[in-house]
Amino acid sequence: MSRLLLSCLLFCSIVSSVHAADAAVEDKPIEAVTSAGDKVILHPSGRWEFVDASKAAAAQEVAKKYPTHQGCPPGWQGGLLGIGRCIPPDDPAFVRGSRGGK
């Protein structure tokens, strides 16, 4: 019985160490080349950027024009750092006032 338990523990430790090694490899950015021949870096989060500094700066200027990168309009809530959605000030699902019943 103890040999079976020892074998199971050994197997579990080997599997977890292999999984940890695979996870460490996946967290590193990957260098790639576009179909146009430009070198880019692919980040684990799904974002990418040009390696060439001048092309990266030009791409950032274009990205600033999109509404998703401009944040919420004045008076709205949420959308911090591009996470979540913007909530208007009169949204009935979020403006409930005091829920104390007074």
3-40 pLDDT, tens digit each: 665 565 556 567 666 555 555 556 899 999 999 999 99
Per-residue pLDDT, 68? 65
CB contact at 8 A, 44 and 36? no
Reply yes or no on whether the pLDDT at 97 is more than 80. Answer: no
Asked if the structure places residue 50 within a domain, the reply is yes
> Of the candidates 63, 65, 67, 66, which has an alpha carbon nearest to the alpha carbon of residue 50?
63
Asked if the structure places residue 53 within a domain, the reply is yes
| Structural domain boundaries, residue 39 | 28-91
Asked if the structure places residue 58 within a domain, the reply is yes
CB contact at 8 A, 44 and 32? no
Q: How many domains does the chain have?
A: 1
Asked if the structure places residue 14 within a domain, the reply is no
Asked if the structure places residue 9 within a domain, the reply is no
Query: What is the average pLDDT score of the chain?
Result: 76
Going from the C-alpha of 91 to that of each of 80, 94, 97, 101, the distances in angstroms are 18, 6, 12, 20
Asked if the structure places residue 15 within a domain, the reply is no
Task: Band the pLDDT of 95: cuts 50, 70, 90.
Answer: low
State the average pLDDT over residues 70-78.
77
